[in-house]
Amino acid sequence: MLSFRIIFLRKKVRGVKMERDNKVSITVIRRLPKYYRYLSDLLNKGITRISSQELSNMTGFTASQIRQDLNNFGGFGQQGYGYNVEELKSQLGKILGLDKIYKAVIAGAGNLGQAIANYRGFQDAGFEVLSLFDRNPRLIGIKIRDIEIRDIEELEPFIKENGVEIGIITVPKSSAQEIADIYVRSGIKGIWNFAPADIKVPDDVIVENVHLNESLFALSYFMNNKNDYIRRD
């Protein structure tokens, strides 16, 4: 009886997907970009239709998990037909916010900042990098793919004048909080942080951390504890 009730509640939640107030679990959200990436690859290969089983073979997730994941957002598949690749990609794109363009800046124009500025994934993700900023006079004025490196002193007025929404942090750990404070003061809404520090910002500012050292430690851990290793993509 209990399991019936749970199923019923789930269905109800699915039915009101547009006004859903239940949080989608972070692990589901983290899988969406992967689906999006695979769907893009399929479309590039001219494949227009795919079953959850075929998606399972590609991604390594189970077919049932895939159906559950996608059902969280309305369930676009049809029994016996599968998913329309283009439609699913476009729907996922909307969910991921890829149909909008966000203006971004990068603080820290060293190798990592330059690598990020050169990063081709930005267009796909709907981000446009307007400028890099650094305090090193030898870097100021140089262009990376037509993106100019400016003096860090100009960061705050530049953000305000240009309505920048995303701030990327590629400065050393010791300057990360200072940059985050400038971002918050200037009205930045989302921060992509590469510094190995947990920056403190108000609750309404989204922070996505890329802690490279933690990833490296995880690699080291699994080299030492092979039994704990489960292949994940």
Minimum CB distance to a copy of itself smaller for 51 or for 59: 59
Contact 89, 39 (CB under 8 A): yes
Spatial neighbors of 195 by CB under 8 A, at least 6 apart, are 169, 170, 171, 172, 173, 175, 176
Minimum CB distance to a copy of itself smaller for 118 or for 162: 118
Long-range (24+ apart) CB contacts under 8 A made by 11-16 are 14/71, 14/72, 14/74, 14/75
Minimum CB distance to a copy of itself smaller for 79 or for 228: 228
Shortest distance, position 80 Cβ to a copy of itself, whole Å: 29
Which span (49-57, 77-85, 97-105, 175-183) binds a copy of itself, by CB under 8 A?
Answer: 97-105
2 forms part of the interface with a copy of itself (CB under 8 A): no
Minimum CB distance to a copy of itself smaller for 121 or for 137: 121
Contact 160, 137 (CB under 8 A): no
Residue that the structure tokens 């890099």 belong to: 132
8 forms part of the interface with a copy of itself (CB under 8 A): no
Strand order through the sheet with 147-151: 143-144, 147-151, 127-134, 102-107, 166-169, 190-193, 206-209
Minimum CB distance to a copy of itself smaller for 7 or for 218: 218
Minimum CB distance to a copy of itself smaller for 36 or for 83: 36
Spatial neighbors of 113 by CB under 8 A, at least 6 apart, are 106, 107, 132, 134, 168, 170
142 forms part of the interface with a copy of itself (CB under 8 A): no
**Which of 152, 102, 157 shows the shortest CA–CA distance to 127?**
102
26 forms part of the interface with a copy of itself (CB under 8 A): yes
> CA-CA distances (angstroms) from residue 148 to 2, 154, 161, 228?
61, 12, 16, 46
127 forms part of the interface with a copy of itself (CB under 8 A): yes
Shortest distance, position 228 Cβ to a copy of itself, whole Å: 5
Site residues for a copy of itself, 210-229, by CB under 8 A, read 210-229
209 forms part of the interface with a copy of itself (CB under 8 A): yes
Which span (30-38, 62-70, 132-140, 177-185) binds a copy of itself, by CB under 8 A?
Answer: 30-38
* Residue ranges that bind a copy of itself, judged by CB under 8 A: 21, 23-24, 26, 29-30, 32-34, 36-37, 95-98, 100, 102, 110-112, 114-115, 118-119, 121-122, 124-127, 165-166, 189-190, 192, 196, 198, 203-204, 206-233
